[in-house]
Amino acid sequence: MFRSKTATVGGHTFPKDVRLRYTPRASDVENVRTLVTETGFFRPDEINIAAELVEECLKLGDESGYHFVMAQKQGNLAGYGCFGPIPCTLTSYDIYWIAVAPKFQGKGLGKCILREMERLIREMGGIRVYVETSTQPGYTSTRMFYERCGYRCEAVLDDFYGPGDGKAIYSYPTRP
């Protein structure tokens, strides 16, 4: 256990009882599925994709193109992020997933996971990060989260996910 109220990991301040790991475990397939389901944000097909990305990483390792930041608190998966290089680009990365269990939301854990992913992307030579999210009203807090973290909305594609459900594309430079 950390001795202070917070701990610095990769230059970011995390709650003292949060532990990060970067290699998914077999148990994370169901842990991610459960966590993403509990958020109440995602459709069943999206939940399956979140679990499939963990499976793909377990099978292929770095060759899968998926990298993870797993945040554990009290031995449980409290939140996680998944990112990877965008195919056919030299220095651009996508953040595919970031999710925090409802009981840990609103306490800065999501921002810490996001900042840790950005740090890892910088280390991998990434210059720009992209993230996509829905334009539905239920995702207003998600869009505001990215905007508070310095992400800029680059484009909105109307009706992308379905009628009345557009895609907002955000970007963030990993280097000043």
Alpha carbons 60 and 137: distance in angstroms, whole number: 37
According to DSSP, the β-strands at 165-173 and 76-85 are unpaired
Whether the per-residue pLDDT at 14 is higher than 70: the answer is no
11: pLDDT strictly greater than 60? no
Q: What is the pTM of this model?
A: 0.89
pLDDT higher than threshold 50 for residue 52: yes
Per-residue pLDDT at 12: 53
DSSP code for 151: -
Nearest to 117 by CA among 76, 66, 164, 156: 66
Q: In Å, how far are 62, 84, 96, 123 from 57, measured between CA atoms? A: 7, 11, 13, 19
Supply the mean pLDDT for the chain: 91
d(CA 70, CA 80): 4
Cα–Cα distance measured from residue 168 to residue 32, given in angstroms and rounded to the nearest whole number: 24
User: Helices (H), strands (E): how many in the chain?
Assistant: 4, 9
CA 94 to chain centre: 9
Residue 5: what pLDDT? 40
Tokens of 23: 């290699």
Task: For residue 94, give the amino acid letter.
Answer: D
DSSP state, residue 75: T
CA distance 107 to 6: 12
| Residues 115-167 pLDDT 10s | 999 999 999 999 999 999 999 999 999 999 999 999 999 999 999 999 999 99
